A and B are shown apart, each in its own frame.
Chain A
Amino acid sequence: MSLGRAIAAELHKTATLPAARVAVAIAALGSLGITVLNATGIRAALDSGQLDDVGYTSPVEAAFSAAPLGTVGAVILGVIAIGSEYSANSSDAGGGRQISSTLTVLPRRLRLLVAKAAAVVLLLTGTAAVTLPTCLAASHLIIGISSGEGWAELAIRCAGAALYWTLTALIAFAIAVLARDGTIPLIVLIANSSLVSVSILLSNLTPLAYYLPDLAGMRLFARDTWAMTADALDPLTGGLVMAAWAFGLLAVAAAAFERRDA
């Protein structure tokens, strides 16, 4: 069977999973919600003149500050694309896992893994392509002033944020393949990307922490206004370091997936 058909099938399979819809909703509606909150706060501060209450007034920052929500959605999507294969049915129903169906349908494992990763990337870039411009438009509309950034700069930051989400999803995906489970990677990675980032804590100890995947790619969309990214790698180097993490982990996951018993 062709890779194109495998990708189409995995795209359909992932997109029709209820948990995938939750992931996309968090990335899209979550980002938009935070953007609206940020923007209304800034608008109120501008109206009352109490600008000390907000760190910035730029509608662009108001939108990109919401991007971490997209990262949470990306983690969920990356993990469940593979975790759903390994979650067992109740023992009353035979205790089977979908992975045995999947591998009997598509026994060439490398091709299957590529198709699954491609499905995740397509879903996320689609989500980002709608979400990020919508967030930017909403924050401009609410705040009502321009930040003075040109279209090109905005497009680059949108692409950067989309890339950050995508690479995060691929890292989560690779970890779930290695773990053959969704639950634990989901808890650890969501906590890391929303509550406490281990990398940010480590960056207080050593600058090497800026080479860890989540911090390395931070300036793909964040700019100097973010305190924690002041010492981070520049967008190009950081993006490459993060991509190296993602593809390195994918290669290890693929080698394990190809070799072991299902």
Chain B
Amino acid sequence: MLTITGLSKRHGPRTVLSDVSFEALPGRVTGFLGPNGAGKSSTLRILLGLDRAGSGTALVDGRPYRALRDPLRTVGSVLDGSGAHRSRTARNHLTWVARASGIPRRRVDEVLEQVGLAGAGRARVGTFSLGMGQRLGLAAALLGEPRALVLDEPVNGLDPEGIRWIRRLLRDFADAGGAVLLSSHLMSEVAEIADDLVVIAGGRILQQGPLDAVTAGHANLEDAFFALIDAAATR
């Protein structure tokens, strides 16, 4: 569903990504795990057509994001918060997104309901907490009933109830055959939610595979993660 092959990118002299390759499969939640600055956001931004790769490809169903017709009907995404201008209401934001994507207006109410913002549709985004912003971002991602979700640090700012809620939502999404790719630096969260893991540090993929394969031989994901980081540092 989401296929990343040989992705490299530099910012001047700094290497941001170096030969990054992995896949997010339908019916699976893929956790993209790494410390801050590891290259997670850069990878997701290239996948979503926001940034350009130096080399390599990032494909959605075999096509670059920018070549998708009405991309929101194929991939929903959330990057840093709501993605809405602060002077807009939640409903107004979702309405222009729907309109630009050829999505029927009734979906706006449906997704507001689905993410628990039904009562906040007329509130301005500027008055939202981080958690409410994340919910609004997710509402926009779900608007086009996509087959894949790409989420950058989706649990940031969510309260325990919100974290539980998003876990259930993503599980249901994957169980219905959708592909979920989510980045995080929170190990315990990823361990709870992911079927497959991709571990990145310093712009390189350190390991990838099913969760139990990556954690095999370690007490938990955190131990496995730091063993990988240490091994990479001494290489």
Contacts and interface: CB of A to CB of B under 8 A. Distances in A.
- Do A and B come together as binding partners? yes
B85 A94 contact: no
Contact of B72 (A8, A100, A105, A262): A105
Contact of B133 (A6, A12, A19, A93): A93
A104 B82 CA distance: 13
Interface stretch (B87-95, B174-182, B196-204): B87-95
A233 B130 CA distance: 54
Interface residues of B toward A: which range? 35 or more
Contact of A96 (B49, B79, B126): B79
B216 interface: no
Contact of A107 (B66, B88, B129): B66
A203 B133 CA distance: 51
A147 to B, nearest CB: 42
Nearest to B84: A98
B57 to A, nearest CB: 15
Nearest to A109: B66
B42 to A, nearest CB: 9
A13 B65 CA distance: 23
Q: Which secondary structure characterizes the binding site on chain A? A: helix
A107 to B, nearest CB: 4
Nearest to A19: B87
B72 A93 contact: no
Interface of A: 1, 5-6, 8-10, 12-13, 16-19, 84-85, 87, 89-90, 92-98, 100-101, 103-108, 261-262
Interface of B: 45, 48-52, 65-66, 68-72, 77, 79-88, 92-93, 95-97, 99-102, 125-126, 128-130, 133-134, 137, 140, 156-157
